[in-house]
Amino acid sequence: MISLFCAFAVLIIGYLVYSRVVEKIFAVDGRKTPASVSNDGVDYELYYS
């Protein structure tokens, strides 16, 4: 049972560390996305039949 808790602890710590590394690499900023800049009110959905 202790190994299960250790595995969860490793996963949670890894998630927190990895998210900070990814945030530093990709530099999250406040730029607008192309979808919000050129919004024409139409949703494009693909329907496969």
Residue 9 within a domain:
yes
**42 is written with which tokens?**
């139409």
Residue 43 within a domain:
no
DSSP secondary structure, 4-44, as one string: HHHHHHHHHHHHHHHHHHHHHHHT---PPPHHHHT--S---
pLDDT score at 1: 93
Write out pLDDT tens, residues 4-43: 999 999 999 999 999 899 988 988 788 887 777 777 777 7
Q: Is the pLDDT of residue 46 over 70?
A: no
Closest-CA residue to 14 (of 25, 4, 6): 6
pLDDT score at 33: 78
Q: How many domains does the chain divide into?
A: 1
Comparing 29 with 49, the larger pLDDT belongs to 29
Range of the domain at 24: 2-28
34 alpha-carbon distance from chain centroid: 18
pLDDT score at 44: 66
The pTM (predicted TM-score) of the whole model is 0.50
